[in-house]
Structure 1
Amino acid sequence: MPEQSPFDLAEGDPFGPHNLPYGVFSTADAPDRRRLGVRYGDSVLDLSALPSALPAAIHPHAELLAAPTLNPLLAAGRPVWRQIRAAVHSAVTDPAHRGEVAPLFHPLAEVTLHLPFEVADYVDFYASEHHATNVGRIFRPNDAALTPNWKHLPIGYHGRAGTVVVTGTPVVRPSGQRKAPADEAPTFGPSLRLDIEAEVGFVVGAPSTLHEPVGLGAFRDHVFGVCLLNDWSARDIQAWEYVPLGPFLGKSFATSVSAWITPLDALDEARTAPPARDFPLLPYLDDAGAEPGGIDIRIEVRINGETVSRPPFSAMYWTASQQLAHMTVNGASLRTGDLFASGTVSGPDPDQLGCLLELTQGKGPYLQDGDEVTLTAWAPGPDGARIGLGEVTGRILPTG
Structure 2
Amino acid sequence: MNAMSRQGTAVQSNEFTEVELMMRARGLAELAWKHREETESTRRIPRVVIDALFDSGLPRLGTSRRMGGLEGHPLTLVEVGRELSRGSAALGWLYGLTVGHQWYLSFMSERFQQEVRDSKPGLIVDSLVPAGQVEPADGGFLLSGHWKFVSGVEWCSWAGLAVVAKLPGRTEPEPLVMFVPADKLKIEDTWHTVGLRGTASNEIKLERVFVPLHRIFALARFAADGKPQGEVSEPGTLYKLPFMAMAAIQLCYPALGAAQRVIEEYAAWTKKRVRAYEHTAAKEAPYSQMTLADATVKWDAARALMLQYVRDAWEAAEAGQGVPSPEERARMFGQRAFITRTCAELTNQLFLDSGAMSLFETSAMQALWRDVNAASMHMVLSRGDALTSLGRTQMGLPGHHFA
Higher strand share: 1
Q: Check whether TM > 0.5.
A: no
- The TM-score, its normalising length taken from structure 1, stands at 0.26
Higher helix share: 2
